[in-house]
Amino acid sequence: MTKVLKGTFLLVATTVLLGFATACSSDDDDQPNPATSHKIVFKAEASTGSDINIAVYGIDGNATTATSLTGTTWTSPEITAPSGTLTANVGVNAVGANASSTLKVQIYVDGELKKEGTSSGQSLSASANYNF
């Protein structure tokens, strides 16, 4: 089980870092103005009986890792993204209760949901990135 969690963590960390690397790609979403600061919150929700255990989140190249998490929900502290911020990224791992378990991650910018990622199965790993 430890090898699975370590492997899943590496997958999430790689996904988040790749999201940082693709900061210059365009996005069709209604974009907030990158010339102003923004309030960013990351959230995760797993299905009943699942257990969230790690989250990697941040803006541009500044990632934070939250470990030893438990439960079916997680919310990051609010981050103030300064003007000129290019990306917001999140990756979360969880252990599902069974093969039909789900995990959803979300990125909120100034209180509005901008991006969402999902995963299903017993070994859950979901990520999302948002380009300003």
pLDDT at residue 70 above 60? yes
Q: What's the average model confidence in pLDDT over 122-132? A: 96
Residue 8 near residue 123, CB atoms below 8 Å: yes
List the chain domain ranges: 2-131
pLDDT reported for residue 61 = 84
Q: Where are the beta strands (DSSP E) in the chain?
A: 38-46, 51-59, 62-66, 73-75, 79-81, 87-95, 102-109, 112-120, 123-131
pLDDT in tens, 116-126: 999 999 999 99
Sequence-ordered list of residues with C-beta below 8 angstroms from that of 119, at least 6 positions apart, any chain? 102, 103, 125, 126
Binning pLDDT at 50, 70 and 90, where does residue 1 land?
Answer: low
The tokens 């009986």 sit on which residue?
49
Better-predicted residue by pLDDT, 30 or 63 = 63
pLDDT in tens, 37-65: 999 999 999 999 999 999 999 999 899 99
pLDDT reported for residue 12 = 53
Residue 55 near residue 76, CB atoms below 8 Å: yes
pTM for the full predicted model: 0.79
Q: Tokens at residue 106, please? A: 């979300």
What is the average pLDDT score of the chain?
A: 85
Q: What's the average model confidence in pLDDT over 94-104? A: 97
Q: What's the average model confidence in pLDDT over 19-40? A: 62
